[in-house]
Amino acid sequence: MTQKFSGLAIIFHSESFDRVQHGLHIAQAALALEREVRLFFTYGSLNYLKNDSFPLPSVDEEPSIYGKNPKKKENENWREELNELLRQTKELGAKFYVCSKSMSLLNIARNELSGVVDRSMGLITFLTAAAADQILFI
């Protein structure tokens, strides 16, 4: 018997730019298909939701596709592009959650986070809210 999921929940863990960017693109595709989307940012990925201090972009997967030096292929406007992607994803209806435990471990206060963030919560609370959703870990 196949389970039908009503929504999509994505858990972002990595600080890798490509993982965060691709996860947001997946979220937008799910929103276009009229699925409810919940995004949970934890550990290194939290840095992409901070107001003023994005991490320097890094690429985790298959760096050979970017050539020997991935930084040479970077667009100078990557921060603005990612902010726009976050804003669009929020406007399309995604709910943004941040891990309260990770915030504590990384010494990040709620007022340091972007306005796209809906709420901070623990993992158990997030998984309870996403019980009927397909869950991806990125």
CATH of residue 118's domain is 3.40.1260.10
Joined together, the tokens standing for residue 3 give 């389970």
3-60: pLDDT as tens digits: 688 899 999 999 888 899 999 999 999 999 999 999 999 999 999 999 876 665 555 5
85-120: pLDDT as tens digits: 999 999 999 999 999 999 999 999 999 999 999 999
Distance CA 41, CA 2 (A): 28
Distance CA 43, CA 83 (A): 19
Q: pLDDT value at position 72? A: 43
Q: pLDDT value at position 58? A: 57
Q: pLDDT value at position 53? A: 64
- For residue 109, give the 3-state DSSP assignment: coil
Distance CA 36, CA 7 (A): 5
Task: Note whether 54 and 82 are within 8 A (CB).
Answer: yes
Q: How confident is the model at residue 81 (pLDDT cuts 50, 70, 90)?
A: confident
Q: pLDDT value at position 73? A: 44
- For residue 63, give the 3-state DSSP assignment: helix
Structural domain of residue 11, as residue ranges?
7-137
Residue 72 lies in a domain: yes
Residue 1 lies in a domain: no
What percentage of the chain has pLDDT greater than the value 70? 80
pTM (2 decimals)?
0.84
Q: How many CA atoms lie within 13 A of 72 on its CB side?
A: 7
Number of domains the chain contains? 1
Q: Is the predicted pLDDT of residue 128 greater than 60, yes or no?
A: yes
Taking alpha carbons only, the member of 50, 52, 47 closest to residue 15 is 47
